[in-house]
Every structure is written in C-alpha cells, then in structure tokens.
Structure 1
Amino acid sequence: MITDRLRLDGRSVIVSGAGGGGIGTSCARALAEAGAVVVAVDRDQDRLDALDLPGETVLVRADIGTAEGVAEVVAAAPGVLHGLVNVVGGSLLPHWAPALDFAREQWDASLDLNLHHVMFLSQAVARRMVDQESGGSIATIASTGGVVAAPYHVAYGTAKAAVLGLTRTLAVEWGQYGIRVNAVAAGSITTPRATSTVQDPGLAGRGVPMRRRGTPEDVAAAVLFLVSDLSAYTTGAVLPVDGGALQRLGLFDDDNVPVHVTNPQILARIRGTDG
C-alpha cells in the first residue's frame, strides 16, 4: 500500500530546534508517531526535558552554530541516519527595522540564526549518508518571506531566500547519492514565539485566503511527507504551507477585491449586489 511509504520505523531523523512547543516540537512528534528514532536537538536542556514523544528518542543539547555542536549531533544519531529537519531560525525584535536603519550586527545575527547552520548541519548529515550509501531526506523550514519581499524584515527575508537557493543547489549536487533536499515555505504560523509578532487574534487570518493562521501541526504534516518515502521522487521543491497567501497579490483587499477598483458598477457585480 502506498500509505506504507509514510512509515519511518527504526530510521533515525535529526530535528534541530525540537524544543519549545512550536514547529520543531510538532515535527519531532509527527516523525516519532511515524516510527522514527528522533534525535531531538536544542540548546536549552529544560526544553528538551519537557519533550514527551512516543517511541525511541535521543536528546542532544548542542549549539548547531558551532562545528563541535554539529559533529556532536550527527554522531548521536543511532543506526542508519535517514533524515534531517532544519527548524532552528526565527526573527527577534531587533531584526525588525527599515533597511535604511538596519545595523550590521543585527544583519549578521539574523543570517547566523536563519542560514549558516542550515548549510553546515546539512553538509555533515549528507556526508554521513554518503558514507552509509543509504540516501536520505533533508527538509528545511523556510518562509514565505523568502519567496516574496519582506519589508522591514530585510535580513530575515534575505536569509530565508538564501535557504531556498541553498535547497535547490544541494538537491542538484546530492541527487546522485539518493539524497533529497526540500524546503517548506511556512506562512503565518501560530507558535509560542509568534505571539510577540501577532498579538491581536482578530487579525489572525488577515491576508490569508483560508482565513486563519497555520498551526505547527500543519507544517509538521508537510515535513512528514518530505522526509518519508511518499516524496521519494521529490527534490529541490519548495512546498508552501501558508493557507494560500502566496497566491494572493497584495493589490487585493481582505474581501479579495482589487484595492484600485472603485467603479461602483464593477464593485456591485463582484459583490452580487447589481440586481
């Protein structure tokens, strides 16, 4: 049955940023429910200790921003290493600013947080997969902010756009080894950290065709597809999980009417009030 390809029984999968109750935690739980041996990675031991996952779990407290941390994480994966989910990233309050005023130190910090570790953890995982002659799957949490412009969020948007370019390049280079590399372009997702950005529940679905914010579980479902054999012939892909937001031009208001249309007759026809 094709649904059998969803199972990951006995396969080791690393999840960076697995603690905190957000996307990383949901990805770790979904993979564990599919039978994977989850190598849960976080810098915060308390967040790791709070994880409650089914099946076999390996907890690794490490800083994947360092070569030592990367080596420790890869070495901790038991058996055949099948997958990696790059979750670590995000946007801190100082990372929001007009480009004209953006400080060099905040630029460097944002790229460190959202880009650099993706390359070097993916590289270390891929090297082990090549040595194993096993192939495997790497999935990275990117953002719709890397697909379209990210005003007042210049470093984050640039880093996430670079992640998409990196994903495509690695997919082409590593396809010969049976290693698939894909990304999820996450839209507006409700996580513990995201509440600092969007605090008004009444605006939760604004600009989203599906009229709601996404959940970590929405992202985890896409990651499970990309890590499992259900996506065995998918690589270099960017899978939007955004409620359709990328398909909707900014020229459209919340009622999906173009903002520049003011002709009463046209508006009446669109809204079905022309009699």
Structure 2
Amino acid sequence: MITDRLRLDGRTVIVSGAGGGGIGTSCARAVSEAGAVVVAVDRDQDRLDAIELPGELVRVRADIGTPEGVQAVVDAAPGTLFGLVNVVGGSLIPHWAPALDFGREQWDAALDLNLHHVMFLSQAVARRIVEQGGDGSIVTISSTGGVVAAPYHVGYGTAKAAVLGLTRTLALEWGRYGIRVNAVAAGSITTPRATSAPQDPAVAGRGVPLGRRGTPDDVAGAVLFLISDLAAYTTGAVLPVEGGALQRLGLFDDENIPVHVTNPQILARINGTSEN
C-alpha cells in the first residue's frame, strides 16, 4: 500500500528544537508515530524532559550553534541515521526593526538563530549518511518570510530566504548519495512562544484564505510527507504550509478585491450585483 511508504520503522531521525510544545515537538511526535527512533535536541533540559513520544526517544541537550554541539547530536544518534528535521529558529523582539535602524548585533543574532546551524548540522548528518552508504532525508523549517519580502524583519527574512537557497544547493549536491533535501515554508503558526496571549480568531486569520492560523501539527504533517518515502522523488522543493496566504498579493483586501479598484461598475461585477 502506498501509505506504507509513510513508515519510518528502523530509521533514526534527529529533530532539532524538539522541546517547548511547538513545531519541533509536533514534528518529533509525527516521525515517532511513523516508527522512527527520535533524537530530540534542545538547549533546555526541562523542555527535553517534558517530551513524551510513543516510540523510542533519545534526548540530547546541546547547542547546535557550536561545532561541539553538532557533533554531540550526531554521535548520540543510534542505529541507522536516516533523517534530520531542522526546526530551531524564530524571531526575537529585538529582530523587529526598520532596516535603516537594524544593527550588526541584531543581524548576526538573526542569522545565527535561523541559518548557520542549518548548514552545519545538515552537513554533519549528511556525512554520517554517506558513511553508511547513502539514503536519507533532510527537511528544514523555513518561512513565508523567506519566500516574499518581510518588512521590518530584515534579518529574519534574509535568513529564511537563505535557508531556501541552501536547501536547493544541498539537494543538487547530495542527490548522488540518495539524500533528499527539502523545506517547509511555514506561515502564521500558533505556538506557545508565538502566541503567549489569547487571540481573536477573526483577527488571527486575517489575510489567510483558509481563515485561520496554522497549528504545529499542520507543519508536522508536511514534514512527515517530505521526510518519508512518499516523497521519494522530491528534492529541492519548498512546500508552503500557510493556508493559502502566499496566493494573494498584498494589493487585495480581506474580500479578495483589488484595493486600487474604485470603479463602481467593476466592483458591481466582482460582487455579483451587476445587471450586465
């Protein structure tokens, strides 16, 4: 059955940023439910200890922003290392600023948090897979902010766009080893860190054709597809998980009407009130 290709039995998958109850935790749970041995990585021991999965779990407290942390993660992976889900990333309050005011410290911090570790953890995992004889899958969480411009978010947007370029380059280079490299462009996702206060659903879903914010499980479903053999002929791809938000230009309002259209006859035709 084709659904059997979703199974990851006998394979080890590393999930960075697996703690905290957000996207990383949902991704770890998804690959665990598919039968994988999960190597859950986080810098916070309490967040690691809180992770509960149905299958075999290896907890690794490490800072993947350092060479020592990267090596510790790969060394801790038991059995046949097959996959990696790069989740670590995000945007801190200081990362929001007009580009004219964006400082070097902010810039370095945004790229450190969202880009550099993706390269070097992916490289270390790929080296191990090549040593094993090849066959593997790497999925990185990027953002719609890396697909379209992210105003007042210059560091984050640049880093997430670079992640997509890196994904395509690694897919080209590592395809010969049977390693697939893909990315998910996540949209507005409700996570414990991103939404610390309750939100009005109508406001939260504004600008999204599906009318709601996404959930970590929405992202995890896409990750499971890409990392599994269901996507065996897919590499270098960027899968949007954003409720359709990328399909509408900013020149359209919440009713999908072009904001520059003021002609009453055109508006009547759009709204279905025209007699012609």
TM-score by length of 2: 0.98
Alignment of 1:166-205 (within 5 A): 166-195=166-195, 199-205=199-205
Give the distance between the partners of 2:116 and 2:196, measured in 1 at CA: 25
Aligned to 1:5: 5
Residue 137 of structure 1 deviates from its aligned partner by 0.1
Give the distance between the partners of 1:204 and 1:31, measured in 2 at CA: 28
Residue 197 of structure 1 deviates from its aligned partner by 9.3
Report how many aligned residue pairs link the two structures.
275
Aligned to 1:65: 65
SS state at 1:194 partner: coil
Aligned to 1:267: 267
TM-score by length of 1: 0.98
**CA spacing shift, 1:197–1:241, aligned 2, 3 Å:** farther
Letter of the aligned partner of 1:135 in structure 2?
D
Alignment of 1:210-249 (within 5 A): 210-249=210-249
Contact 1:23/1:191, CA 8 A, preserved across alignment:
yes
Which digits, 9 at most, give the CA deviation of each residue in 1:187-208, with x for residues without a partner? 1111111115995543111111
Give the distance between the partners of 1:196 and 1:168, measured in 2 at CA: 34
Alignment of 1:96-135 (within 5 A): 96-135=96-135
- The answer for unaligned runs of 5 or more in structure 2 is none
Give the distance between the partners of 1:52 and 1:169, measured in 2 at CA: 35
Letter of the aligned partner of 1:70 in structure 2?
V
Q: What's the % identity of the aligned pairs?
A: 85
Give the distance between the partners of 2:246 and 2:253, measured in 1 at CA: 14
Contact 2:17/2:88, CA 8 A, preserved across alignment:
yes
Residue 270 of structure 1 deviates from its aligned partner by 1.0
Contact 2:201/2:212, CA 8 A, preserved across alignment:
no
Give the distance between the partners of 1:113 and 1:273, measured in 2 at CA: 51
Which digits, 9 at most, give the CA deviation of each residue in 1:230-253, with x for residues without a partner? 000100000000111111111110
Alignment of 1:35-54 (within 5 A): 35-54=35-54
SS state at 2:145 partner: helix
Aligned to 1:149: 149
Aligned to 1:85: 85
RMSD, matched Cα: 1.2
Which digits, 9 at most, give the CA deviation of each residue in 1:58-86, with x for residues without a partner? 00000000000000000111100000000
**CA spacing shift, 1:201–1:161, aligned 2, 3 Å:** same
Aligned to 2:252: 252
Give the distance between the partners of 2:199 and 2:102, measured in 1 at CA: 24
- The answer for unaligned runs of 5 or more in structure 1 is none
Moved over 4 A (4+): 196-200
Letter of the aligned partner of 2:127 in structure 1?
R
Alignment of 1:15-26 (within 5 A): 15-26=15-26
Give the distance between the partners of 1:45 and 1:267, measured in 2 at CA: 57
SS state at 1:195 partner: coil
Letter of the aligned partner of 1:154 in structure 2?
V
Give the distance between the partners of 2:233 and 2:80, measured in 1 at CA: 20
Residue 260 of structure 1 deviates from its aligned partner by 0.3
Give the distance between the partners of 1:185 and 1:126, measured in 2 at CA: 22
Contact 1:198/1:204, CA 8 A, preserved across alignment:
no
**CA spacing shift, 1:73–1:114, aligned 2, 3 Å:** same
